[in-house]
């Protein structure tokens, strides 16, 4: 048959917290019964507020001009704190990096307009997915952060620009800051995300 396109908007925002344990987060979709080959899901994310982007660009300008390092780190800490407390980028990843007994917090934010496309597979890994009427069909969406970050070396993180919040160091990974690390990780997110229908 012909292609079927379904669209849902989340005008008030929709947030999911993914942790390294089985998650009960779910989203219910009404999809017509049928045989799909393939079935894919695309999530469109919106960018951050212009004001926050301006803050980052202003900070980068001060950094390039060689302003006081301590002040720069504190100012960057304020920007990172905004992300942790107030801003809801489309994807935010939080973790810790420990090397030689020293720990730095990692905050990666994906804050561009983004279309995240995922192809669904059946339980055998094939592209043909059968959705039957009258039963609940489930999909298991799996992320692989270990794979995302496996390309990053301790040296790269040790050389990253840091911000300071309450005396603790934070590494912000974004398109604008520590961008080489960000890009290496970002390029692995979509390709390693899997969706299995009716496992």
Orientation of helix 69-85 relative to helix 50-64, angle to 10°: 160
Are the beta carbons of 127 and 62 closer than 8 angstroms? no
Q: How many domains does the chain have?
A: 1
Residue 3 belongs to some domain of the structure: no
109-165: pLDDT as tens digits:
887 666 778 889 999 999 999 998 888 888 888 888 899 999 999 999 999 999 999
Burial of residue 154 (number of CB atoms within 10 Å: 0-12, 13-18, 19+): exposed
Residue 90 belongs to some domain of the structure: yes
Q: Enter the pTM of the model.
A: 0.82
Which of 71 and 144 is assigned the larger pLDDT? 71
Residue 169 belongs to some domain of the structure: yes
Average pLDDT over residues 87-92: 77
Per the structure, the complete domain to which residue 81 belongs is given by 46-113+143-192
Residue 33 belongs to some domain of the structure: no
Residue 12 belongs to some domain of the structure: no
Are the beta carbons of 195 and 138 closer than 8 angstroms? no
Specify the pLDDT at position 25: 72
Q: Could you identify the residue written with the tokens 């959705």?
A: 131
- Rounded distance between C-alpha atoms, residue 27 and residue 105, angstroms: 30
Return the bridge partners of 120, or none.
39, 195
Closest by alpha carbon to 105, among 86, 141, 69, 77?
A: 77
Confidence of residue 83 (pLDDT cuts 50, 70, 90): confident
Which of 1 and 4 is assigned the larger pLDDT? 4
Residue 102 belongs to some domain of the structure: yes
Phi, psi angles (nearest 5°) of residue 157 = -75, -35
Encoded tokens for 28: 């219910």
- Sign of the CA dihedral 60, 61, 65, 67? negative
Strand order in the sheet with 39-45: 39-45, 114-121, 194-197, 139-142
Confidence of residue 11 (pLDDT cuts 50, 70, 90): low
Residue 123 belongs to some domain of the structure: no
Are the beta carbons of 194 and 129 closer than 8 angstroms? no
């Amino acid at each position: 048959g012909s292609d079927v396109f379904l669209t849902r908007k989340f005008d008030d925002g929709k947030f999911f917290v993914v942790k390294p344990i089985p998650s009960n987060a779910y989203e219910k979709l009404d999809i017509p019964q049928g045989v799909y080959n393939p079935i894919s899901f695309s999530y469109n994310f919106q960018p951050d507020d212009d004001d926050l982007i301006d803050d980052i660009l202003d900070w980068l300008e001060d950094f390039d001009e060689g302003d006081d390092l301590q002040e720069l780190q504190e100012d960057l800490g304020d920007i990172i704190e905004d992300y942790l407390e107030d801003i809801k980028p489309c994807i935010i990843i939080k973790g810790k990096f420990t090397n030689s007994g020293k720990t730095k917090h990692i905050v990666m934010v994906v804050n561009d307009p983004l279309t995240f496309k995922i192809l669904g597979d059946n339980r055998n890994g094939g592209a043909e997915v059968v959705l039957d009427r009258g039963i609940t069909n489930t999909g298991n969406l799996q992320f692989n952060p270990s794979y995302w970050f496996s390309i990053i070396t301790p040296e790269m993180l040790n050389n990253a620009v840091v911000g300071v919040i309450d005396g603790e160091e934070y590494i912000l990974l974004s398109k604008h800051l520590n961008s080489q690390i960000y890009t290496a990780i970002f390029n692995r997110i979509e390709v390693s995300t899997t969706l299995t229908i009716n496992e």
